[in-house]
Amino acid sequence: MDSPETPILIFGARSFAEEIADLASEVPGLRVAGFVENFDRDRPRILHGLPVHWIDDVAPLAASHKAVCGLGTTLRAPLITQARAMGFEFLSVIHPSARVSSRAVIGAGSIISAGSIIAAHTVIGEHVVINRGALIGHHIQIAEYTNIGPGANIGGGCRIGEGVYVGIGATVIDHLQIGPVTVIGGGAVVTRDLPARVLAVGVPAKIVKENIEGK
């Protein structure tokens, strides 16, 4: 007899939430049961044939559903905190085509997308997004709420702070430290440590803005 599927709600109802729903639909044992909207109560209540619940109405579902955050921004902590206060438990979602070392640790609520690779002895914090085709080397630590963009390459031994955004196709060479809430532009090549709350772009990456609020 097949094991029952776990129903999940995607917190968010925009395009990135649709992407996460598609990803989760291909993970054995999960069933996407709907979306949760927290911005516009007048949005359509059906999305791809699934219900879109208003945030204030979903607390009764916490006993029977698990949660995944479908916000593309690194500033997703308030929504996650609100969902937790309602009693929702967050699951990590790992696509079957991803390669995750048995010696890696994936935090609750994190999303490991199609074709990505997580090498040995790496620790991924809670609510991290590793997007499609990203390469995460060995002995890396990635703090919570970070986004690693499609095709990005993070070298071994790096330390990535909370709420960092690494753009599509960016490279961070081995053994660097990236401060919290820093944004690395698409295609950038980071060759030295970066402090907190800066925007770095180019090859090699240079700081072009300071005191940013994330992405």
CA distance 77 to 155: 26
pLDDT digits (tens, 9 = 90+) for 181-190: 999 999 999 9
Of 154, 183, 191, the C-alpha closest to 167 is 183
CA distance 172 to 196: 15
What long-range pairs does 135-139 form, CB within 8 A, spacing at least 24? 137/174, 138/101
DSSP-derived 3-state class of residue 77:
helix
CB neighbours of residue 187 within 10 Å: 17
Structural domains in the chain plus CATH codes: 6-85 (3.40.50.20), 98-208 (2.160.10.10)
Look at residue 166 in the predicted model and tell me its pLDDT.
98
Annotated active-site residue in 48, 53, 95, 138: 138
pLDDT digits (tens, 9 = 90+) for 19-41: 999 999 999 999 999 999 998 88
Residue 44 has pLDDT above 90, yes or no: no
Active site residue 138: yes
